């Protein structure tokens, strides 16, 4: 290539989520939980879930096919395809290999990329790899496609309301409406057993809840401080970096209440990083926290309450609207932070978004985390076209079917009982799926999976894995 590709970022964005959900208020009653435990304590309203008719392969088939169709992208225009997921169906065969069934009939087999796995961080790693490819000597002028997909399920109990499912696909290339700021990535990686899946026969994770929160907040502290440092090094004459740098901030969302705490924690970082002799001048009323240390505050209710109260207007202005899908669908795992991006876009007018800077915090247990930023184009026409492709999201949310907790529990029991069963004929209702959804048709005795697609008034496609 004769020149470095400019303004590399997101050219197109597609999201899918389950067609069925359970109401969290009803689930509180069914579980015998105190009123508001899930809805207020966790900040969740509804939780999407998949029957045994959907798995990570079917989610990815659907979201990739939808993106290419909606944006009119020929398969031959894609030169790299990478999947980020922690929902493992096969210990060897990648989800990417299953997706090749969409490309092979179009003569496309020269397609780099496979799967990337580390809890909820895999999609961000895939995104970074796609950006690196476009900005490298390996780039051949085609576009990259990043797919994030997961099904988050938990055993019956206190963790089950934090489940969810979904998939996001992102088209990556130059001259993008959403530019990933070059050289502004800050990462924090560490070994931890906060959330992991050691039992390969089960979909359920092992979770150390308290450690998981501490790891998440510690990673946020480290990523934010390193981002501040890198920004200051790159913009030598710019004012000191703080929350004012970002017009919006989106977070990986295990549950919505944690994100509200996380936004306030960025404010706590700003406070701690302010020279001690200026803290009270800038933050009047925080005298009691003058000597606070970040590592001592993970579970300090006084600090948490004070900063959450102080930063409520900032949260409302910069983050709250990005939690729309997380509140309505639940934790999508790998797609979670990108569902926040979709929510941010569909809940603001083009004029409110043009020229804005979005901070992004991505976290995956184990642990891997990064903070980076997105600069939204100031070109109102280009942004309007980009945003118009997301007009289907809210109507699709509204079209979902509510399932009572008793039926939801039965469907989860079927899913648990038949996990990795072969041969297997799924029993979930196909008629409740959205039009154009790929679904699991059968699994033969050799564990080979066959997929079909619900009607869209177009010829159905059969796929296998």
Report the catalytic residues: 86, 120, 252
CA distance 421 to 450: 14
Residue 89: closest CA among 56, 54, 58, 63: 56
The dihedrals phi and psi of 362, each to the nearest 5 degrees, come to -115, 135
- In this structure, the strands spanning 20-23 and 46-49 are antiparallel
The dihedrals phi and psi of 95, each to the nearest 5 degrees, come to -60, -35
Within 13 A of 321's CA, how many CA atoms are on the CB side?
Answer: 18
Residue 311: closest CA among 242, 237, 363, 406: 242
Residues in the chain: 465
Q: How far is CA 168 from CA 152, 263, 312, 363, in A?
A: 14, 24, 29, 16
Tokens of 356: 């804005």
Tokens 């085609």 found at: 142
- Give the torsion sign (CA, 26, 27, 30, 34): negative
CA distance 340 to 250: 6
**How many CB atoms lie under 10 A from the CB of residue 346?**
18
Within 13 A of 175's CA, how many CA atoms are on the CB side?
Answer: 4
CA distance 101 to 435: 20
Tokens 């989610």 found at: 59
The dihedrals phi and psi of 441, each to the nearest 5 degrees, come to -90, -40
Residues 243/327, Cβ–Cβ less than 8 Å: no
Tokens of 195: 């959330």
Residues 364/399, Cβ–Cβ less than 8 Å: no
Which regions of 310-389 does DSSP assign to beta strands (E)? 357-364, 368-376
* Per-position DSSP letters for 382-413, written without gaps between them: HHHHHHHTTTTHHHHHHTPEE--HHHHHHHHH
CA distance 441 to 273: 56
């Amino acid at each position: 290539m004769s020149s470095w590709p400019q303004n590399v970022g997101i050219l197109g964005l597609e999201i899918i989520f389950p067609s069925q959900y359970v109401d969290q208020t009803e689930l509180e009653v069914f579980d015998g939980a105190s009123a508001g435990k899930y809805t207020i304590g966790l900040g969740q309203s509804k939780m999407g879930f998949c029957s045994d008719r959907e798995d990570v392969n079917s989610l990815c088939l659907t979201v990739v096919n939808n993106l290419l169709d909606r944006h009119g992208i020929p398969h031959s225009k894609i030169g790299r395809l990478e999947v980020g997921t922690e929902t493992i169906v096969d210990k060897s065969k990648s989800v990417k290999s299953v997706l090749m069934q969409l490309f092979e009939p179009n003569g496309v087999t020269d397609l780099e990329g496979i799967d990337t796995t580390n809890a909820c961080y895999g999609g961000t790693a895939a995104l970074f790899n796609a950006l690196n490819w476009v900005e490298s000597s390996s780039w051949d002028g085609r576009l990259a496609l990043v797919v994030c997909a997961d099904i988050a399920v938990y055993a019956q109990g206190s963790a089950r309301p934090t489940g969810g499912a979904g998939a996001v696909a992102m088209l990556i290339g130059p001259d993008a409406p959403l530019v990933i700021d070059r050289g502004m990535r800050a990462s924090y990686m560490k070994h931890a057993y906060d959330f992991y899946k050691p039992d390969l026969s089960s979909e359920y994770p092992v979770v150390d809840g308290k450690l998981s929160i501490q790891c998440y907040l510690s990673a946020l502290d480290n990523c934010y401080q390193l981002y501040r440092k890198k920004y200051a090094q790159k913009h030598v004459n710019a004012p000191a970096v703080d929350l004012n740098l970002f017009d919006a901030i989106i977070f990986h969302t295990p549950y919505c209440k944690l994100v509200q705490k996380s936004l306030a924690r960025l404010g706590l970082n700003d406070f701690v990083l302010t020279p001690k002799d200026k803290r009270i001048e800038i933050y009047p009323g925080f005298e009691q926290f003058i000597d606070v240390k970040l590592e001592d505050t993970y579970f300090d209710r006084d600090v948490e309450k004070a900063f959450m109260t102080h930063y409520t207007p900032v949260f409302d202005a910069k983050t709250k609207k990005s939690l729309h899908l997380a509140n309505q669908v639940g934790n999508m795992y790998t797609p979670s932070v990108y569902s926040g991006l979709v929510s941010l876009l569909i809940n603001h007018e083009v004029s409110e978004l043009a020229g804005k800077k979005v901070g992004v915090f991505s976290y995956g247990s184990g642990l891997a985390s990064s903070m980076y930023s997105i600069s939204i184009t100031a070109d109102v026409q280009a942004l309007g076209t980009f945003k118009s492709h997301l007009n289907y999201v809210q109507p699709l949310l509204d079209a979902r079917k509510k399932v009572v907790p008793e039926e939801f529990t039965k469907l989860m029991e079927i899913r648990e009982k038949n996990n990795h069963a072969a041969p297997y004929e799924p029993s979930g209702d196909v008629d409740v799926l959205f039009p154009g959804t790929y679904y699991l048709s059968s699994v033969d005795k050799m564990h080979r999976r066959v997929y079909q697609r619900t009607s869209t008034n177009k010829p159905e496609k059969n796929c296998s894995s």
